[in-house]
Every structure is written in structure tokens, then in C-alpha cells.
Structure 1
Amino acid sequence: MSTFEQAYSWINLRFLLEGLWVTLEVSVISIVLSFIIGLILGVIRYVKIKYLSAAVGFLIDIIRNLPLLLIIFFTYFGLPELGLRMTPMLAAVTALVVFESAMLAEIVRSGIQAVPVGQMEGARSSGLTYVQAMWHIIMPQALQKMIPPLVSQFISLVKDTSLATIIVLPELLYHAQIIYSQNTTYMVPMYLMIAVMYFIVCYCLSLVARRLEKRYG
């Protein structure tokens, strides 16, 4: 029996799928939370609320220029020193949400700015309040323009979950490491299978993006 056949036994594949499930779970939770928070932060930056927008912009600039791995380390190893302990799952989600929210906030702000100014002026002249104009006129158009960069960022988020293996999150890469640590000849087969699994997930996201672009573009 070849090394690949042994490496891809049902027991090993099932163990990898368990890791993939954790990866997907962390990814979905992080995507939903970071999109909501990023949307709020992006709008705050765009509307230029006195002091608040500047403070949010300063915080976003700091986070965007920090390595994600550093944020993961701080969340899992640093926060306990301040009295806040987290499980690997919660620490990974928290770090990803903090980092991705900052990235998505800039995408949201850029998307809103890409909508012609005349759209807001026309909405206001028709009797809509500023909030109503933003919600019913500006945001739908902005979201259409945001689809490609948003999906690209979500794909990056899925791949970035692999960094959480450093805090012993039982995700896909961590499970693969456990398998080939028992037999080093499985290392190449495991990395190939990981690549295939990540490709399938990320490619499916890109297909969703293309369909959304065709539908709303």
C-alpha cells in the first residue's frame, strides 16, 4: 500500500473533516460579526461625526497595520494577564473579528464614497431624511460595488483561520499536523489534502461572488 493510500485512510480523512468543520465554523461566525461591525464602523467613518469618526479612523488605521498573528497572540496570551481568559475558539474568533472589521470598514467607506453625490442630493430633495436616504438609496448601491472586495476579504479570512493553529485551535491545519506528527511520511499528502480543501471552500465563495455580481451588477 502506498504512502498516499495509507495517509488518506478513512480515519485520517474523517479527522481532517472534523478540523475543516471547525475552520468553517470559525469562518462563518467571524464573517457575520466582522461584516456587521465593519459596516457600522465604515458608515461612522463616512458620515464624519465630530471626534467619533476621527477616533474610529485612528483605531482602524492601527489595527490594519498590525499583523493578524500578533492580534491572535495578544487575544489568547495577553488578555489573560489582564484577567480575561478565552478558549482557543473564542480567542480566534475575537482576533479575526477585530482584524477583519477594520479591513471591512475601509471597504464599506470606499463603497459608499463610490456612489455619486447626486444620489444623496436627489434623495434628500425628494423628502427623505439623511438616515432614510442612506438606508434606502445609498447603501444598496454601495453594497453592489462592495461585493468583489468583500468576498475577496472573506476568502482571506477563511485562509487566515490557519494562523489560529498557533493557539491550538483544533482547525484543519492543526488536525493535519497531528496526523503527520505520528508518521512524517504523511506530511506531503496532508498538505496536498489541506490545499484541496481550502481551494474548494474558497472557490465556492468566489462562485457566489460571481453570481452576486451578475445578479446585482
Structure 2
Amino acid sequence: MDFLAPFIEVYTTDHLRFLLEGFWVTLKVAAISIVLSFIIGGIVGTLRYAKIPVVSQLFAVIVETIRNLPLLLIIFFTYFALPEIGIEMEITAAAIAALTVFESAMISEIIRSGLNSIEKGQIEAGRASGLNYIQTLHYIIMPQALRRMVPPLVSQFISLLKDTSLAVVIALPDVLHNGQIIYAQKGSYVVPILVIVSFMYFIVNYALSMIARRLELKQI
């Protein structure tokens, strides 16, 4: 009973509501970052696939640089360094910007790899049928590539959701931050709070992983 006492004591309506408010911030930041990174990553990945002179090489350098930097460093840079050059953002915007930059680089590689997985002969067939390069990409290559991209994209989105927890270093009022505020009141609250926070992350990420698994099985 001594072990269970902190769980019973800390799981109050007010505490659970406070954690859910933080989890809503987590989901909101993740959702906005997913949408923005998918759009930006899709554009960058497609441009790199198209091998446009100079543009493709420039994006390749940018993407490889970002992919090889720790996300935590990008978060610090966005929130603490950018204001030094006149670009100031509030905490939530800074977290979204940092996550979007990092995840766009990751997603652009998924997009580029997916497009490259389609046989080159299909491009030639499309061009031979009278379609220009853009039409061939839009009507023939992209639909097939997207089916292959979906499982790794969902996996990347799961990673993004988990990565939002790193924004606690800039005091983003997410579920982990709110959890820290609660267990700072009493040392015995640490375990029960981290258990419930872990459960919240698990539920969403497990649901997404099941979606990814189903989509992957459809490809087999």
C-alpha cells in the first residue's frame, strides 16, 4: 500500500486536467509541425529528385547539414540564437519552427527515396505517351511513390511526436513540462506522474504504429 499511496494521492482531477492540458499542447505542436514539415519536405524532396542544377545540390547540402545536427541544438538555436539577429518567437512558435526544420529534412529524404524507388522506365513510358515531365511525375510517379512512402512517413511522424518532449528545455508547456511542475511539489510524485505521461505518449504512438503496420502490410 505504501507504494500505491503516491499514485492514489497524485491522480486527482486537477492534476489529470493539468496533464491533459499539457498533452493538448504536445499534440497541437506535433500536428502543426507534421503538416508544415510534410509540405516543406515534399517540395524539397521532389526538387532534389528532379535534379535541377544548383538547386538540387544546394538543398542536398542543407538537408544533410540539418540531418546531422542534434534536434536539441536546433531548438536551442531557434529560441536563444535567432533573437540575437532580430528574429524573436514565443516558446510554442520556436518549438514548432525547430521541429519543422529538423523533420522537413528527414521527410525530404523519405520523399526522394520513394520517388527514386519507382522504375525509370515508367518515366520514359509517360514521356513516350505524350506527357511532359511534370505531368509524368504528377500522374504516374507520385501516386505509386506515395503508397511506398506512407509507412516510413507515419514512423517519422511518431518520432516527431516523441521529439516534442525535447522542447521542455525551453519551457514549452507540454505534458512533460506540466508533469515536472506537479512532481516538483513532492518527491514521491515522480514515478506516478512519469507513468501517466508515458501512458499518454504510448496510446497515441501505439495507435500510429498500428496504422503504419496496416499500411505496410497492404504494400506486401
TM (normalized to structure 2)? 0.95
Q: How many residues are matched?
A: 217
Q: Equivalent residue for 1:102? A: 105
Whether the 8 Å CA contact 2:148–2:219 is kept in 1: the answer is no
Structure 1 residue ranges (4+ consecutive) displaced by more than 4 angstroms after TM superposition: 214-217
For residue 69 of structure 1, the aligned residue among 47, 69, 72 is 72
For residue 14 of structure 1, the aligned residue among 17, 34, 37 is 17
What is the 5 A alignment of 1:1-217?
2-214=5-217
Q: In the alignment, residue 37 of structure 1 is paired with which amino acid?
A: I
CA distance in 2, matches of 1:86, 1:96: 14
**Aligned-residue RMSD, C-alpha:** 1.2
Question: 5+ residue gaps in structure 1?
Answer: none
Identity of aligned residues (%): 57
Whether the 8 Å CA contact 2:151–2:215 is kept in 1: the answer is no
Greater CA drift, 145-154 or 62-71: 145-154
SS at structure 2 position matched to 1:61: helix
TM (normalized to structure 1)? 0.97
CA distance in 2, matches of 1:31, 1:212: 18
Per-residue deviation, residues 101-129 of structure 1 (Å, max 9, x unmatched): 00111111100000111111111111111
